[in-house]
């Protein structure tokens, strides 16, 4: 219900992660600038993506880095969810507009999370690689999405704060877990910007393929 999907003109070529970000639309930009003047100029496809993970792992910072290209060490606590968007241009020229829902992380807000993830095509589950307990919650969110999310929701696991000197989560374990479950795995840092684009590009790519296959429901 949250995403309107119009038929793409072209079929998607060989799986490729080489996508390019064409244009950013900040959450504070006037709404009118987010829209083309005619329907034809709009991104041909829109897709809802949700950010999940423990409090303080950097969900808002990843969203802010990706959508507005900036980093703020003191970002206000997210209550409920924040809406941001970014257009990803895929290699074949088609565009995918990501509606990014950045959710509140405190465990108590989990009761509200289905409101935001239930019709999402993709999810980025974020943990802090310098804080081990946040990795445990990744599995909780995977279970939630599998049980109550959109069937075949594409998942990406993001190991944020990879610029840290104090690694507490073994990336090998995380990587193996993701490979065996067919999840995207990216080590990234919202602070330095490392791999943040790649994270969302990989996910956009996968979501796009999923959307071409159609909704299994």
Binding site for other proteins (CB under 8 A): 1-4, 25, 27-32, 34-35, 46, 55-56, 74-77, 79-81, 83, 85, 99, 104, 106, 108-112, 114-116, 140, 143, 146-148
CB of 16 to other proteins, least distance (A): 27
Closest CA to 60 of 42, 43, 72: 72
CB of 117 to other proteins, least distance (A): 12
CB of 73 to other proteins, least distance (A): 8
Q: Between 73 and 214, name the residue whose CB sits nearer to other proteins.
A: 73
- CA–CA gap between residue 106 and residue 54 (Å, rounded): 6
CB of 5 to other proteins, least distance (A): 12
- CA–CA gap between residue 97 and residue 95 (Å, rounded): 6
CB of 31 to other proteins, least distance (A): 4
Burial class of 58 by CB neighbour count within 10 A (0 to 12, 13 to 18, 19+): buried
- Residue the block writes with tokens 């104090």: 166
Query: How many residues in the chain?
Result: 217
Q: Between 134 and 195, name the residue whose CB sits nearer to other proteins.
A: 134
Q: Between 12 and 140, name the residue whose CB sits nearer to other proteins.
A: 140
- CA–CA gap between residue 112 and residue 116 (Å, rounded): 8
Q: Between 110 and 175, name the residue whose CB sits nearer to other proteins.
A: 110
Q: E strands within 54-197?
A: 81-89, 95-103, 122-128, 154-160, 184-187
- CA–CA gap between residue 76 and residue 95 (Å, rounded): 31
Q: Between 93 and 143, name the residue whose CB sits nearer to other proteins.
A: 143
């Amino acid at each position: 219900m949250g995403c309107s999907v119009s038929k793409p003109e072209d079929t998607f070529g060989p799986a490729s992660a080489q996508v390019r970000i064409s244009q950013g639309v900040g959450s504070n930009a006037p709404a009118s600038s987010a829209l083309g003047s005619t329907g034809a100029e709009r991104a041909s496809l829109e897709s809802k993506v949700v950010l999940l993970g423990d409090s303080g792992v950097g969900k808002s910072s990843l969203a802010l880095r990706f959508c507005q290209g900036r980093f703020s060490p003191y970002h206000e606590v997210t209550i409920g969810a924040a809406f941001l968007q970014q257009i990803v241009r895929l290699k074949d020229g088609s565009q995918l507009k990501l509606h990014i829902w950045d959710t509140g992380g405190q465990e108590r807000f989990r009761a509200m999370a289905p409101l935001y993830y239930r019709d999402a095509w993709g999810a980025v589950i974020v943990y802090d690689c310098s804080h081990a307990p946040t990795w445990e919650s990744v599995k909780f969110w995977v279970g939630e999405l599998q049980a109550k999310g959109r069937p075949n929701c594409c998942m990406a696991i993001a190991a944020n704060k990879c610029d840290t000197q104090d690694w507490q989560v073994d990336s090998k374990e995380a990587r193996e877990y993701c490979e065996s479950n067919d999840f995207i795995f990216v080590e990234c840092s919202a602070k330095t910007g490392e791999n943040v684009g790649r994270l969302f590009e990989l996910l956009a790519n996968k979501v796009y393929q999923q959307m071409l296959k159609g909704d299994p429901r």
